[in-house]
Chain A
Amino acid sequence: MESLIGLLIGAPLLGAAVLLVGGRRLDRVGHLLATLLAAVSFVLAVVLFLDLLGEESEARTLHQHLFTWVPVADFQADVAFRLDPLSMTFVLLITSVGTLIHLYSIGYMEHDERRRRFFAYLNLFLGAMLLLVLADNYLLLYVGWEGVGLASFLLIGFWQHKPSAATAAKKAFIVNRVGDVGLSIAILLMFTTFGTFAFEPVLENASGASEATLTGIGLMLLLAACGKSAQVPLQSWLGDAMEGPTPVSALIHAATMVTAGVYLITRSGAVFDAAPDAQTVVVVVGAVTLLFGAIVGCAKDDIKKALAGSTMSQIGYMMLAAGLGPIGYVFAIMHLVTHGFFKAGLFLGAGSVMHGMNDEVDMRRYGGLRKHMPITFATFGLAYLAIIGFPYLSGFFSKDEIIYAGFSKGGTEGWILGGVMLLGAALTAYYMTRIMLLTFFGEKRWQPDASGHEPHPHESPLTMTIPMIILAFGSVGAGFFFDLNENFVHWLEPVTGLEHGDSPVAHGTVGIAATAVMVLGVAGAWWQYGRRPVPAVAPQGRFLTRAARRDLLQDDFNHAAFVRPGNYLTRGLVYLDHKLVDGVVNGTAAAFGGASGRLRRVQNGFARSYAVSMFGGAVLLVAATLLMRAV
């Protein structure tokens, strides 16, 4: 069984290699091959899953040691995999959503001449993401970590001829690199502390290390997680990343890659449990991002950017839950999985809308689409209900558990966290309803584009709608299934542990409160966007609205704090290198040249002046001799 793990990762990687090396002659079959290999991965994942289910719950761990990777003295890195319930959960999510999105992309990218490459990159992403969650040490995880970053870079910038896409791709990679430095330093700290960076020894011995070290490791891991999961302060890339094709946004920037940070923190739970300070920072980052993303999501008119804000916010929930420790890990992952389904569904729906609307993304130019795209409307609507936490749909179960866990933190903190998350829930309901109303309800607001073509909204082809329908089922049923007999909790408990805090508020009360704020949010959105026609051009808005449209000024801040000083520094250094460092060298050379130029003048060609110097020399010699004698 173990040997299947390598195959699971290998299949999509092979696909990527074949498609990239194969060149044009694979243009016709490339997408089919890639989808097939993604499906192979999924089947293998299911086989492995069934195998794990057959084991006792404590023995559900498989190891595969492939080969020794980097052996230098004490530094021993292996290419080895570890499959336990936590990674299995991710593998199932990644391969299932991944396969569906491959399928969707066949339709979505049909008219793109570089479709083969697109699929190669998608396969590359799948392989790297699987490597990330299956690695059994941090260094191999790092390979997957940057691998998904690379795939994300390639896919965001897939339409490279658009400067905005190329810039967004670069920005995503660089911001992620900042996070990666955190991961590097965390691994370095682990190595100097534990002498290894494999999961098992590090996590088992974590309690033996000093708290300062663990806090350091924890904060560095958090930095990495912030980069990958677009959490404050490294959140700025996610909105721009929406320049990529929509299936990419669904797969990478909603369902899987951006949740890798949550995986990292959950996986390193033992480190965080022993470093309460680091945990506190995780919770704060989660809470801040939760509100940040929600506020941005409320103001954006670009449907994908609004959804991106939502993604940030939802991952904020997960981060917060993961920062709560063993009372939250399970629910962080549970929300992650349900979010994977409904957010992928939402993005695919958005893609379907754009497909029918000549790639228009401004929601103010949609309106009334429910009549033109019934399937998209239905699937999008179900995912919408799931994300706002409509009772007994997926989001209801997972989000309520997180809010309850927040209250369970106890004391003032518990009340603050619970309050923030309830506020977030209200905002979620507000911005999602806004998207819903602007897109599918009201009057049609679209106009002919610059070239005079009026969009003719139509339902998308089957390859696109089928994945949407399947994801809609997931959005509706996953939460209920997970909650049934506490299935999910029992499944993950051996890896993440589980504790029950004592909440000052009853579980049922939290559910009622969450539903109440949801209704409030929906009502608020309806009050603003449902009652009266929506203007096709955005009103100017107040300061907060304007700031939120500019992503709460995050880019302005980064620009002022890093980019501009960096530019000055670079230019200054180039100048200095030329004038000072090279100047010294050239100056030395010039000094020698000048000196020899002067000395040359002494050779004036007059025999008598040579005679003088000879005479002077002779006198000097004689004088020196006499002087030496005298002394």
Chain B
Amino acid sequence: MSFPLLTATALTPAIGAIVTAAVPSARRTAAKWIALAFSLATVGFAAAIVLRFDTDAGADRYQLTESRSWIEDFGVRYELGVDGIGVAMIALTAVLIPFLIGAGWNDADPKEDEDEAPASRRWRPTQGFFALILAVEAMVVLSFAATDIFLFYIFFEAMLIPMYFLIGGFGDRAGEQGEEGQARQRSYAAVKFLLYNLVGGLVMLAALIGLYVATADQLEVGTFSLQAILEARGSGELDLATSTERWLFLGFFVAFAIKAPLWPVHTWLPNAMGESTAPVAVLITAVVDKVGTFAMLRFCLGLFPEASEWATPVVITLALVSIIYGALLALGQRDMKRLIAYASISHFGFIVLGIFVMTSQGQGGATLYMINHGIATAALMLVAGFLISRRGSRLISDYGGVQKTAPVLAGTFLIGGLGTLSLPGTGPFISEFLVLVGTFSRYEVAGIIACAGIVLAALYVLVLYQRTMTGPVKPGLEKLPDLRVRELAVVAPLIALLIFLGVYPQPLTDIVNPAVEHTLSDVDQTDPAPHLEEVEAGQ
């Protein structure tokens, strides 16, 4: 058996989390560097995955597979494997985490008045912050890599624990309601996040057990293995009754829709993103939420093709509502982090739309969208976080004329915003356009409605930019410092990546395309042919 690359990729941050947490409280800075080192090592492993992954047309669907027995009695195995989509998502996760650590470098430091606290304090917030981020990374990587559905479920749920502490334990120090109100808001957000996702997880667990029973019924032994189930479906051994399949689909879909989040189960996201620090907000929307959409592609479509087709009209409607609704609500926000959160809801609408229109452009676009949205939102949100930490307020109305005092900050903010509104030349444009193409070639009206999202995106981004960055300098901002070296080092590579993926996305599409083909063949769909060819063929 070759070197277990996927396990190593997940284990590195896990070990990093333990080591970081164990650093004594006096060595706060050392903990930061250790966390950064481990996250960079993870990037190394992720790079190895990308290089080892074979993108030839004839290559295996799932590669770098690992399989060990775990709970034999219930057919649960430790099975890992990635297709192109998984590789792309793991790469995104691994690449983003060091930037988040860099951006949150000082976010978890004790406040000035606590600096003299005795060395024996048991709670070490700084160490905990970075350890939790690494723990989330490990679980996210594992859920992208798991091909055993039960294994996936475990990490899908376990991720909530460190996330809960990250949201509830480390907030912005930028509130309207003072220290105590802030803490109350924060714990409200954390509990809301947890409950929402637990409900989804519970429904999924039920569906998961149902699936196991169904496999145990029809096959010789029950199994949770994705590959085994796919094979059994293909050979006709496993044939779920229509109603069973639909119920099971719904169970999975609800869980993923909450995670994604899709309208109308989106309301936890603005709270969670608004109350947490900027890096954690990015972690939620750019990394953790992607597990939801990723799982729709891998599990919903793969396991329940007919039910997916059955649900398509409803899902597409929900996605369209998300797009428009998220954008309109973003326009109405007074708090810039909540604004970005609602913008994300709009973008997740696009991703789900792309997944469920069942065309290669739609699904390829949706996969690229997950990557590009991660990078664009990270750029925008982190810069917003830098700004918020300077002024100590999240309210848009507290800002104005920032570009005069901090031009680099304003410039990077604008580029992040332009990425968010999918300006051609940045990565998100390509993915958004692919989703639109994929949608339009099958559902013209839906495609046109989604196009309206383009205008609204421009509106909320530019309104935000205009209100915060232009005009006369607001009182209290006259001496706003520009981006520091550390902050620039975090943002500049993200921006470079954003533009690179907009100009030359081919390396990414090469990896993703074969996986999309496979997914499409799972649901037994082909792209619609151009009308002109149909006409010619008819003649």
Instruction: Find out whether the CB atom of A147 lies under 8 angstroms from the CB atom of B424.
Output: yes
Stretch of A349-357, A428-436, A565-573 on the interface side: A565-573
How many A-B pairs have beta carbons closer than 8 Å: the answer is: 167
The residues in A between 163 and 210 inclusive whose CB is less than 8 angstroms from any CB of B are 163, 165-167, 169-170, 173-174, 177-178, 180-181, 184-185, 187-189, 191-196, 205, 208-210
| Contact for A181 among B266, B360, B451, B505, CB less than 8 A | B451
What are the interface flags for B514-534 relative to A under an 8 Å C-beta threshold, 1 for contact and 0 otherwise? 001100000000011111110
* Chain B hits for A180, CB < 8 A: 454
What are the interface flags for B450-492 relative to A under an 8 Å C-beta threshold, 1 for contact and 0 otherwise? 0110110011001101100111110000000000000000000
* Chain B hits for A192, CB < 8 A: 440-441, 444, 528, 530-531
Instruction: Find out whether the CB atom of A188 lies under 8 angstroms from the CB atom of B436.
Output: yes
Query: A166 CB to closest chain B CB, in angstroms?
Result: 4
Q: CA separation between A178 and B458, bound complex, in Å?
A: 10
| Contact for B471 among A74, A160, A174, A213, CB less than 8 A | A160
Instruction: Find out whether the CB atom of B425 lies under 8 angstroms from the CB atom of A170.
Output: no
Instruction: Find out whether the CB atom of B532 lies under 8 angstroms from the CB atom of A161.
Output: no
The answer to the question of B206 belonging to the interface, with a C-beta cut-off of 8 Å to chain A, is no
The answer to the question of B328 belonging to the interface, with a C-beta cut-off of 8 Å to chain A, is yes
The answer to the question of A359 belonging to the interface, with a C-beta cut-off of 8 Å to chain B, is no
* Chain B hits for A162, CB < 8 A: 471
Instruction: Find out whether the CB atom of A73 lies under 8 angstroms from the CB atom of B527.
Output: yes
The answer to the question of B433 belonging to the interface, with a C-beta cut-off of 8 Å to chain A, is yes
Instruction: Find out whether the CB atom of A574 lies under 8 angstroms from the CB atom of B332.
Output: yes
Q: CA separation between A582 and B189, bound complex, in Å?
A: 12
* Chain B hits for A566, CB < 8 A: 331
The answer to the question of A71 belonging to the interface, with a C-beta cut-off of 8 Å to chain B, is yes
Instruction: Find out whether the CB atom of B470 lies under 8 angstroms from the CB atom of A147.
Output: no
Query: A131 CB to closest chain B CB, in angstroms?
Result: 9
| Contact for B333 among A67, A73, A74, A574, CB less than 8 A | A574
The answer to the question of A611 belonging to the interface, with a C-beta cut-off of 8 Å to chain B, is no
Q: CA separation between A160 and B434, bound complex, in Å?
A: 34
* Chain B hits for A205, CB < 8 A: 532
The verdict on A209 contacting B451 (CB below 8 Å), with A570-B332, A574-B329, A582-B267 known, is: no
Instruction: Find out whether the CB atom of A72 lies under 8 angstroms from the CB atom of B365.
Output: yes
Stretch of A93-101, A138-146, A315-323, A441-449 on the interface side: A138-146
Instruction: Find out whether the CB atom of B533 lies under 8 angstroms from the CB atom of A195.
Output: yes
Instruction: Find out whether the CB atom of B527 lies under 8 angstroms from the CB atom of A74.
Output: yes
Instruction: Find out whether the CB atom of B509 lies under 8 angstroms from the CB atom of A161.
Output: no
Q: Which residue of A lies closest to B342 (CB)?
A: A577
* Chain A hits for B513, CB < 8 A: 71-73
Q: Which residue of B lies closest to A181 (CB)?
A: B451
The answer to the question of B448 belonging to the interface, with a C-beta cut-off of 8 Å to chain A, is yes
The answer to the question of B44 belonging to the interface, with a C-beta cut-off of 8 Å to chain A, is no
Instruction: Find out whether the CB atom of B451 lies under 8 angstroms from the CB atom of A185.
Output: yes
The answer to the question of B404 belonging to the interface, with a C-beta cut-off of 8 Å to chain A, is yes
| Contact for A194 among B331, B465, B509, B532, CB less than 8 A | B532
| Contact for A170 among B440, B454, B463, B531, CB less than 8 A | B463
Instruction: Find out whether the CB atom of A188 lies under 8 angstroms from the CB atom of B440.
Output: yes
The answer to the question of B401 belonging to the interface, with a C-beta cut-off of 8 Å to chain A, is yes
Q: Which residue of B lies closest to A154 (CB)?
A: B414
Q: CA separation between A142 and B531, bound complex, in Å?
A: 23
The answer to the question of B4 belonging to the interface, with a C-beta cut-off of 8 Å to chain A, is no
Among B263, B455, B505, find the residue whose CB has the most chain A CB atoms closer than 10 A: B455
The answer to the question of A599 belonging to the interface, with a C-beta cut-off of 8 Å to chain B, is no
The residues in A between 62 and 114 inclusive whose CB is less than 8 angstroms from any CB of B are 67-75
| Contact for B470 among A72, A160, A573, CB less than 8 A | A160
* Chain A hits for B459, CB < 8 A: 174, 177
| Contact for A174 among B333, B411, B444, B458, CB less than 8 A | B458
How many chain B residues touch A (Cβ–Cβ < 8 Å)? Answer: 68
The answer to the question of B211 belonging to the interface, with a C-beta cut-off of 8 Å to chain A, is no
Instruction: Find out whether the CB atom of A147 lies under 8 angstroms from the CB atom of B425.
Output: yes
Q: CA separation between A161 and B477, bound complex, in Å?
A: 14
Instruction: Find out whether the CB atom of A193 lies under 8 angstroms from the CB atom of B532.
Output: yes
The answer to the question of A59 belonging to the interface, with a C-beta cut-off of 8 Å to chain B, is no
Q: Which residue of A lies closest to B268 (CB)?
A: A585
The answer to the question of B297 belonging to the interface, with a C-beta cut-off of 8 Å to chain A, is no
The residues in A between 322 and 354 inclusive whose CB is less than 8 angstroms from any CB of B are none
The verdict on A209 contacting B532 (CB below 8 Å), with A147-B424, A571-B332, A585-B267 known, is: yes
* Chain B hits for A570, CB < 8 A: 328-329, 331-332
The residues in B between 373 and 407 inclusive whose CB is less than 8 angstroms from any CB of A are 401, 403-404
The answer to the question of B264 belonging to the interface, with a C-beta cut-off of 8 Å to chain A, is yes
What are the interface flags for A233-256 relative to B under an 8 Å C-beta threshold, 1 for contact and 0 otherwise? 000000000000000000000000
* Chain A hits for B535, CB < 8 A: 208, 210
The answer to the question of B437 belonging to the interface, with a C-beta cut-off of 8 Å to chain A, is yes
Instruction: Find out whether the CB atom of B264 lies under 8 angstroms from the CB atom of A581.
Output: yes
Q: CA separation between A38 and B328, bound complex, in Å?
A: 41
| Contact for B361 among A73, A569, A571, CB less than 8 A | A73
The residues in B between 325 and 381 inclusive whose CB is less than 8 angstroms from any CB of A are 325, 328-329, 331-333, 360-361, 364-365
* Chain A hits for B448, CB < 8 A: 185
Query: B385 CB to closest chain A CB, in angstroms?
Result: 22
Among A143, A147, A209, find the residue whose CB has the most chain B CB atoms closer than 10 A: A143
* Chain A hits for B458, CB < 8 A: 173-174, 177
Q: CA separation between A479 and B463, bound complex, in Å?
A: 44
Instruction: Find out whether the CB atom of A194 lies under 8 angstroms from the CB atom of B472.
Output: no
Q: CA separation between A73 and B510, bound complex, in Å?
A: 11
Instruction: Find out whether the CB atom of B423 lies under 8 angstroms from the CB atom of A581.
Output: no
Q: CA separation between A347 and B470, bound complex, in Å?
A: 26
* Chain B hits for A194, CB < 8 A: 530, 532
Q: CA separation between A391 and B506, bound complex, in Å?
A: 56
* Chain B hits for A209, CB < 8 A: 531-532
* Chain A hits for B454, CB < 8 A: 177, 180-181, 184
* Chain B hits for A71, CB < 8 A: 506, 509, 513
What are the interface flags for A125-147 relative to B under an 8 Å C-beta threshold, 1 for contact and 0 otherwise? 00000000000000100110111
Query: B307 CB to closest chain A CB, in angstroms?
Result: 24
Instruction: Find out whether the CB atom of A70 lies under 8 angstroms from the CB atom of B360.
Output: no
Instruction: Find out whether the CB atom of B470 lies under 8 angstroms from the CB atom of A191.
Output: no
The answer to the question of A589 belonging to the interface, with a C-beta cut-off of 8 Å to chain B, is yes
* Chain A hits for B364, CB < 8 A: 72-73
Instruction: Find out whether the CB atom of A70 lies under 8 angstroms from the CB atom of B329.
Output: no
Q: CA separation between A16 and B471, bound complex, in Å?
A: 24
The answer to the question of B316 belonging to the interface, with a C-beta cut-off of 8 Å to chain A, is no
* Chain A hits for B401, CB < 8 A: 160-161
The answer to the question of B447 belonging to the interface, with a C-beta cut-off of 8 Å to chain A, is yes
Q: CA separation between A585 and B265, bound complex, in Å?
A: 9
13 A-B interface contacts by CB (under 8 A) = A68-B506, A70-B430, A72-B513, A160-B401, A160-B469, A160-B470, A174-B458, A174-B462, A193-B530, A210-B531, A210-B535, A566-B331, A573-B328
Given contacts A72-B509, A161-B472, A585-B192, 8 further A-B contacts (CB under 8 A): A73-B527, A143-B424, A143-B429, A145-B424, A147-B424, A178-B455, A181-B455, A185-B451
Interface residues of B (CB under 8 A from A): 192, 195-196, 263-264, 266-267, 325, 328-329, 331-333, 360-361, 364-365, 401, 403-404, 411, 418, 423-425, 429-430, 433-434, 436-437, 440-441, 444, 447-448, 451-452, 454-455, 458-459, 462-463, 465-466, 469-473, 503-506, 509, 513, 516-517, 527-533, 535-536
